[in-house]
Structure 1
């Protein structure tokens, strides 16, 4: 199994209490530590407003961070989970990503999806198209990426996007273009887009649901004449690990206590439940057992979000020392 980790950027209220003047230092140090360690990739979210409630707390922009991380790391791969197609022109985004790939020496991943956070869509003036329209935007945008990164130009007279000879030079350093991660598990559209274009998918759900989506993806690949083995399946995990169950519980209590003043008690209870039901909550042994079962269902890449990362590194260190070696 391969492993990635999220770097706190504020979106999940995971930089609260840290002065804005210190936030980039914290993010940079965590990225450089990951670069020197056991992780294959680092990730940020592509959002503008905090979650689960919009607030005035920091949310640092994803592609700006991609460029910054590219300049201060040497090895680790750089991803967003996931870029919202509707937030930027896809031809412009293809150009941005190609430039970051150059800066990084060929380490960029393109996580891409249709987007869902209605509040920030409307707040930034993007409207909020219905799901079928957002998925059509996703399909057209991915086609523009594919053309741009393989030929250096893109032309598409689409319903949502029109480009006519958009030049994207220099090409990304990575042969064949930047790897595309299609995020989402929509069975009729999203997984079909993934079957056609993706190097990676990203979806979650119960173990049973994960297996069903995997099978649907394989069916789409078969219909398109593509080997499903060319696509790596990934999932994201809310991760809290403790040497004992009691320690894991104490860590969760501290996270909930930090979040509650910003999101309220009701939403904090939902967050608490999300962690308690996560396959990556508990002792190292418990997490290894659950992730091993996921691997048996086809999971090849696990991306972990540690809510205490900016404040306490002992949990991620425990994960690095005991979970990753047992599954790699």
Structure 2
């Protein structure tokens, strides 16, 4: 049975949140009983808007570590092209130790070319990014799991200890919707996170993932949007609020239709739970619900109530 402790909230601060909003939302998420809070690691808004706040990920994670006590938190996901992998591992171990073992380290190969170019980072083709990711993951996993890396590759090298040592195991997550990343997660990660996908796409990725497991136990999680309301009127109101926050001209009906077309959990609490239940039956064990209008605390509270079985 799905528990609220196996669920979390995903924030997109690059879309205009302030640091204070990130921290206050995390505190609310913790008070409501969720187990996890993730935030994106983007350097620019991902809808091509400019001139809005986009607080840097790892700086804000330090604030979250200091502002919460039980909530597990992390990036979803950190592109390895932004930071040297040995440095990233040390950052992760430092936060994990400081927070009492709560950091979740989710890494990926990156996808948003504009933010790479804007900040002077190279953005090679996917095949090369995968080769870089493979090497980076070797460095990161050695440092966070074993405390030392001795590695020389074509892109990265590291010969160092990782101190402070992590306070307990760091949960290492690989996020991605490609077959190579799904297979790599099965072989080397503690958790595979897939962004919301149509059922047929997820089934193909899950088959690749399952075939590569070789007896390992790896958690499967999903990140994606949702829309929840007690009745059609509230549902439309929440859809309108989300469109306004995202500066979208979509009508509530258009917003809801697009979400349903993507197989997102949408509707009343009962409809929401039915959709999530089907996803659980398909092998998804954890859910990180994307809150695209963080000011909508009423929907966040309804989500918590729904997951606790109070509706």
- Alpha carbons of 1:272 and 1:243: their partners in 2 closer, same or farther (altered >3 Å)? closer
Give the 5 Å matches for 1:208-287: 208-222=200-214, 226-227=215-216, 230-260=217-247, 265=249, 274-277=258-261, 278-287=263-272
Q: Tell me what 1:6 maps to.
A: 10
- For structure 1, list consecutive stretches of 5 or more residues without a partner in the other structure: 16-22
**Which structure 2 residues correspond to residues 110-259 of structure 1 after superposition, within 5 A?**
110-163=105-158, 165-175=159-169, 178-187=170-179, 189-203=180-194, 204-222=196-214, 226-227=215-216, 230-259=217-246
Give the deviation of 1:253 after TM superposition. Answer: 1.9
1:270, CA displacement in angstroms? 8.4
Structure 2, unpaired ranges of 5+: none
SS of match in other structure, 2:213? helix
Rounded to whole Å, the distance in 2 between the matches of 1:124 and 1:275 is: 32
User: Which position in structure 1 is the counterpart of 2:28?
Assistant: 33
What is the 5 A alignment of 1:97-108?
A: 97-108=92-103
For the residue of structure 1 that corresponds to 2:143, the secondary structure is: helix
How has the CA–CA distance of structure 1 residues 305 and 116 changed in structure 2, closer, same or farther, with 3 Å as cutoff? Answer: same
Q: 1:171 to 1:25 in 2, by over 3 A?
A: same
Could you tell me whether the CA contact under 8 Å between 1:240 and 1:307 is conserved in 2? no
RMSD across aligned positions (CA): 2.1
Higher mean displacement: 120-129 or 199-208: 199-208
The ranges of structure 1 where at least 4 consecutive aligned residues each deviate by more than 6 angstroms after the TM superposition are: 268-272
Query: In structure 2, how many angstroms separate the alpha carbons of the residues matched to 1:258 and 1:100?
Result: 31
Contact 2:57 2:75 in 1 (8 A): yes
In the other structure, the counterpart of 1:325 is 308
1:89 and 2:84 matched: yes
Question: Are the equivalent residues in 2 in contact too, given 1:256–1:272 (CA < 8 A)?
Answer: no
SS at match of 1:299: coil
Cα deviation, 1:134-158, whole Å, max 9, x if unaligned, reads 1111111111111112332212111
* 1:112-136 deviation digits (Å, cap 9, x = unpaired): 1000000001111112100011111
**Helix, strand or coil for the counterpart of 2:51?**
coil
Cα distance, 1:304 vs structure 2:
0.6
TM-score by length of 2: 0.91
Q: Could you tell me how far 1:27 is from its partner in structure 2?
A: 2.1
How many residues are treated as equivalent by the alignment?
Answer: 303
Task: Write the distance in 2 (CA, Å) between the matches of 1:115 and 1:131.
Answer: 9
**Residues 80, 111 of structure 1: 8 Å contact kept:** yes
Length-normalised TM-score, structure 1: 0.86
